[in-house]
Structure 1
Amino acid sequence: MQLLQTLCRIPAPSGEEAALTRFILDYVRQHGPAWRQPPLVVHDEARFQDCVLLVFGQPRTAVFAHLDSIGFTVRYGRELVPIGGPETETGYRLVGCDSQGDIACTLTVNEETEALGYEFSRDIERGTSLTFACEFRETETTVQSCYLDNRLGVWNALRLAETLEHGIIAFSCWEEHGGGSVPYLARYIYDTYGVRQALISDITWVTEGVQLGAGCVISLRDSLIPRRGYVERIRRIAEASGVPHQLEVEGEGGSDAKDLQRSDMPWDWCFVGAPEDGVHSPNELIDKHDIASMLQLYQVLLREL
């Protein structure tokens, strides 16, 4: 879990993924030569901004994992504007940095207006991004931290890369605040490699039908509906593999898949990821059994799809 803890501690709210991008590039340079199939690294700021593609062998499937997290932007005075949809509670610890130095402040929520603000020894420069302070907690069976969504999806992709022979891993940006990078990544992948099927390496919710510790989740639908024929292929492969998994049916929520489904290219997609409790809070909680089954299932799917 050391890699996961490191990923969770790197601030990368939507629009400021650059620090995590640098970590990914350094990590691949250091570890990639020892992987089963060293990847082609595609990182061109002019075309792909802070996104990164790892291309292995003769790819048939692309795995999308978004780098960014939710957070807050300092507005005027001591106001905050949310990035994405963070949970808000007075007293949450926030961190950041502006030209005057490091910041460690607390979130405030007005009980009447629900307006967001902060308490700190000085005014923070407008436009500064703040993120939850990371307190990574590990037990024998669980991990708990801010930003497991989606640092676990990134962790899963990097661990998958160790044994991947054929496939593409796409690290995207802005997912938590509306997306926007997947369309140009999908176009490049489709035009260059002819790949048009995807898995979404992301984190979903614990609900009345999805439980911690019962295995990775294959989503049959959320606010979007994937093509059933593709999802059924994934279900058959998962069942034959014996890897523990759950099926999810939801009417809301979304992921990088929304840009794939709304594109003018015939992309198939399926969301496959571990469930977590405490979504978008400093206390996101995931069971280690679900982490293990997520990686195992991705390894099987990338071989069989």
Structure 2
Amino acid sequence: MQLLKTLCQLPAPAGEEAKLTTFLLNYVQEHGPSWRQPPLLVHDENRFQDCLLLVFGQPRTAIFAHLDSIGFTVRYGHELIPIGGPEVKTGYRLVGKDSQGEITCTLVVEEETEALSYEFSRLIETGTSLTFACDFRETDTTVQSCYLDNRLGVWAALQVAETLEHGIIAFSCWEEHGGGSVPYLARFIYETYGVRQALIADITWVTQGVKAGNGCVISLRDSLIPRRRYVERIRAIARAAGLAHQLEVEETGGSDAKDLQRSDVPWDWCFVGAPEDEVHTPDEIVAKVDILSMVALYTELMREL
């Protein structure tokens, strides 16, 4: 879990993914040559900004995993504006950095108006991004930290990469705050490699129908509806391999799939990910058996799709 801990500790709120991208570039350049199929690294700031593609062999399917996290932006004075949809509670520790130095401050939620602010020994410069302070906790059965959504999706994709022979892993940006990078990644992938089927490596929720410890989730729908024929192929592969999994049906929520769904390219997609509790808080928690289930399911799907 050391790699996952490192990923969770790297601040990368939506719009500021560059530090995490640099880490991944260095990681793949160091470890990629020893993988079963060393990937082609596609990183061009002019075309893809802070996104990164790993291309293996003759790809048929692409994994999309977003790099960014939720967070906060300092407005004026002590005001904060959320990045994405963080859960908020007075007392949460926030960290960041401006030109005056490192910042460790406290989130304050005004009871009546729910306005957000911070407590700190000085004013923080306008425009500074703040993220949850990382307290990574591991037990025999669980992992708990801020930003398992979606550093766990990134981690799982890197585990799959070690044995992947044919496929694409696309690390995207801005998902937590509306998306926007997937359309140009999807068009490049489609036009360059002819790939038009995707798996969304993201983290979903523990709900009344999805339980921690029961395996990775195959989502039948959230606020969007994937093509059922494609989803049934994925379910059939999971059943044939005897891999533990559970099904999700939700009315709300979304992912990088929203840009694929609205694309003028005929992409098929399915959200496949481990469930977590304490979503979008500093205390997101995932069962280890669900993490292992996610890696095993992705490995099998990328081989068979």
Q: TM-score, normalised by structure 1?
A: 1.00
What is the letter of the counterpart of residue 269 of structure 1?
Answer: W
- What is the match of residue 34 of structure 2? 34
What is the letter of the counterpart of residue 83 of structure 2?
Answer: I
- What is the match of residue 197 of structure 1? 197
Residues of 1 paired with 2:188 and 2:195: CA distance? Answer: 10
Write out aligned runs for 1:142-181 (5 A): 142-181=142-181
Could you list the per-position Cα deviations for residues 245-268 of structure 1 after superposition, in whole angstroms to 9, with x for gaps in the alignment? 000000000000000000000000
Write out aligned runs for 1:104-123 (5 A): 104-123=104-123
- What is the match of residue 236 of structure 2? 236
Residues of 2 paired with 1:285 and 1:129: CA distance? Answer: 24
SS of the residue 1:258 aligns to: helix
- What is the match of residue 256 of structure 2? 256
- What is the match of residue 102 of structure 2? 102
What is the letter of the counterpart of residue 201 of structure 1?
Answer: A
Residues of 2 paired with 1:271 and 1:239: CA distance? Answer: 17
Shift of 1:10: 0.1
Shift of 1:85: 0.1
Q: Which runs of 5+ in 2 are unaligned?
A: none
What is the letter of the counterpart of residue 296 of structure 1?
Answer: A
- What is the match of residue 56 of structure 1? 56
Residues of 1 paired with 2:173 and 2:115: CA distance? Answer: 27
Residues of 2 paired with 1:199 and 1:97: CA distance? Answer: 35
State the percentage of identical aligned residues. 80
Count of aligned pairs between the two proteins: 305
- What is the match of residue 11 of structure 2? 11
- What is the match of residue 128 of structure 1? 128
Residues of 2 paired with 1:192 and 1:140: CA distance? Answer: 44
- Structure 1's consecutive aligned runs of 4 or more residues displaced over 2 angstroms after TM superposition are none
Shift of 1:104: 0.1
What is the letter of the counterpart of residue 9 of structure 1?
Answer: Q
Shift of 1:52: 0.1
Residues of 2 paired with 1:189 and 1:201: CA distance? Answer: 17
Residues of 1 paired with 2:291 and 2:30: CA distance? Answer: 24
- What is the match of residue 138 of structure 2? 138
Shift of 1:217: 0.1
Q: Which runs of 5+ in 1 are unaligned?
A: none
What is the letter of the counterpart of residue 212 of structure 1?
Answer: A
- What is the match of residue 47 of structure 2? 47
Shift of 1:59: 0.1
Shift of 1:222: 0.2
- What is the match of residue 220 of structure 2? 220
SS of the residue 1:58 aligns to: coil
Residues of 2 paired with 1:159 and 1:229: CA distance? Answer: 28
SS of the residue 1:235 aligns to: helix
Residues of 1 paired with 2:128 and 2:241: CA distance? Answer: 47
SS of the residue 2:294 aligns to: helix
What is the letter of the counterpart of residue 209 of structure 1?
Answer: G
Residues of 1 paired with 2:49 and 2:57: CA distance? Answer: 24
What is the letter of the counterpart of residue 78 of structure 2?
Answer: R
